[in-house]
Amino acid sequence: MTFQDVYAKLDARRTIVNRLMLGLLGLASLVAILPLVFVLYYVVHRGIQGLNLSFFTQLPKPVGETGGGLGNAVLGTLVLVGLGSAVGVPIGIASGVFLSEFKRSRFAPWLRSAVELLAGVPSIILGIFAYAVLVVPLHGFSAAAGALALAIILIPTVAKTTEEVLKLVPDHIREAGLGLGLPRWKVILRIVVYGSRSGILTGVMLGVARISGESAPLLFTALNSQYWPRGLLAPISSLPVQIYTYAISPFDDWTQLAWTGSMVLVLFVLVANLLMRAILGGKKA
């Protein structure tokens, strides 16, 4: 056998290995997105059967009565997410701005660690926290306690994206503003933050999408309710908790509501993500 033959054989082997491995990489990517396809297909397939107007306008019915909807849970989720955002968004944006614009402050490293560590705290622990600080002292499960837990989840997400987005603003823009004699706060608010508003909004929306699907921290804070929301200090229903309750229930009507609720939730989250991607993509282009 000549050297050429050996090389040719080796080369053939290398080509085969190359093809095989590259194929494997492609296959792996296919495997990775398969669950998404399955979940979406299943959720829509099962969920759409229960989708009608009364899903959004009616209260759940007791066992044994057909019909009913999850109107209170849809509204409750809006209330909880709205309240959580009202608290969490300003704090998150302020932290992000601070991290980006005052990074030489002695406080900045503390804040940065706090934001990163808070992002890693399991959401169920925030439930324990909100239960201890709001539910027990105020003697009642409440929308406020649930919203507090959601706000704490929202803060790091918003803070991190805000910081990332503001870091993209080139320094010469800040210098130009300062050079015009504007005070620094005006430069930051009017030029840096305002100019990055779509990026910040993206961060906010992604955070909102995330907390709208959270159920663990609501289990023992907002609890649940079979009625329409009754104010901040009363238990409140939410889609994720209602889905959980109905998912493990043995009644077909309730399971159906869980699927439809899941579909509504998933579509909301996906649309929010797609929308934000479109905004960002449009900006880059």
Partner 1 sequence: MSTASPITSPSPSRRPSTRPINPGDRLFRRVLMGLSGVVVAVLALIAIYLAKLSWPAIHEFGLGFFWTTDWDPVKEHFGAGAFIFGTLVSSFFALALAVPLSIAVGLFLTELAPPRAAAVVGFMVEMLAAIPSVVYGLWGIFFLAPLLRLYVQPFLGRHFGWLFLFQGPPYGIGMLAAGLILAIMVTPTITAICREVFRAVPNTQREAALGLGATKWEMIRLAVVKSSWSGVFGAGILGLGRALGETMAVTMLIGNRNEISTSLFSPGQTMASVIANEYAEAGSNIHVAALAYVGLALFVVSFAVNHLARRIVKRLEMGGTR
Partner 2 sequence: MRFVLPLILFALSGSASADVVSINGAGATFPYPLYSKWFSEYRKVDPGVEINYQSIGSGGGVRQLLEKTIDFGASDAPMKDEQLAKAATPIYHFPTVLGAVTLAFNLPGFTGELKLTPELVADLFLGKIYYWNDAKIAAVNPGVALPDVPVMIIHRSDGSGTTAVFTDYLSKVSPEWKTKVGSGTAVKWPIGIGGKGNEGVTGFLKNSPGAIGFVELLYAETNHLQVASLKNAAGNFVRPSVAAVTEAAAGALKDIPKDFRVSITNSSGKSAYPIASFTYLLLYKKSAPAKSAKLKAFLGWALGDGQKLAESLFYAPLPAELAARARAQIKEIE
70-99 residues in contact with partner 2 (CB under 8 A) are 75, 78-79, 81-83, 85-86, 89
Q: Is 224 in the site for partner 2 (CB under 8 A)?
A: yes
Q: How far apart are CA 112 and CA 277, in angstroms?
A: 26
Residue partners of 184: CB distance under 8 A and separation at least 6: 178
Q: How far apart are CA 48 and CA 42, in angstroms?
A: 10
Q: Is 112 in the site for partner 1 (CB under 8 A)?
A: yes
Select the binding partner of residue 199 from partner 1, partner 2, none (C-beta < 5 to 8 A, by kind).
none
Which residue, chain included where needed, has tokens 């990332």?
164
Q: Is 119 in the site for partner 1 (CB under 8 A)?
A: yes
Both tokens of 83, joined, read 């309240």
The vertex-277 CA angle with 191 and 71, nearest 5°, equals 105
Task: Supply the minimum distance, in Å, between the C-beta of residue 163 and partner 1.
Answer: 7
Select the binding partner of residue 189 from partner 2, partner 1, none (C-beta < 5 to 8 A, by kind).
partner 1
Residues between 140 and 169 that touch partner 2 (CB under 8 A):
140-141
Select the binding partner of residue 229 from partner 1, partner 2, none (C-beta < 5 to 8 A, by kind).
partner 2
Sign of the torsion formed by the C-alpha atoms of 116, 118, 122 and 123: negative
Q: Is 194 in the site for partner 2 (CB under 8 A)?
A: no
Q: How far apart are CA 183 and CA 195, in angstroms?
A: 17
Report the DSSP beta bridge partners of residue 68: 60
Q: Is 216 in the site for partner 1 (CB under 8 A)?
A: yes
Select the binding partner of residue 258 from partner 2, partner 1, none (C-beta < 5 to 8 A, by kind).
partner 1
Q: Is 251 in the site for partner 2 (CB under 8 A)?
A: yes
Q: How far apart are CA 173 and CA 280, in angstroms?
A: 21
Nearest to 256 by CA among 58, 48, 53: 48
Q: Is 106 in the site for partner 2 (CB under 8 A)?
A: no
Residues between 116 and 135 that touch partner 2 (CB under 8 A):
135
**Residue 220, amino acid:** F
41 or 227: CB nearest partner 1: 41
Task: Supply the minimum distance, in Å, between the C-beta of residue 152 and partner 2.
Answer: 19
Local structure of residue 60 (DSSP, 8 states): B
Nearest to 174 by CA among 97, 106, 231, 118: 97
Task: Supply the minimum distance, in Å, between the C-beta of residue 275 and partner 1.
Answer: 12
CA distances from 102 to 43, 48, 170 (A): 45, 50, 15
Q: How far apart are CA 204 and CA 272, in angstroms?
A: 11
Select the binding partner of residue 107 from partner 1, partner 2, none (C-beta < 5 to 8 A, by kind).
partner 1
79 or 97: CB nearest partner 1: 97
75 or 89: CB nearest partner 1: 89
Q: Is 186 in the site for partner 2 (CB under 8 A)?
A: no
Which residue, chain included where needed, has tokens 């090389």?
7
Both tokens of 126, joined, read 């925030």
Which residue, chain included where needed, has tokens 């709001």?
134
Select the binding partner of residue 97 from partner 2, partner 1, none (C-beta < 5 to 8 A, by kind).
partner 1
Binding residues (CB under 8 A) for partner 2: these are 61-64, 75, 78-79, 81-83, 85-86, 89, 135-136, 139-141, 204, 223-232, 234-235, 245, 248-251
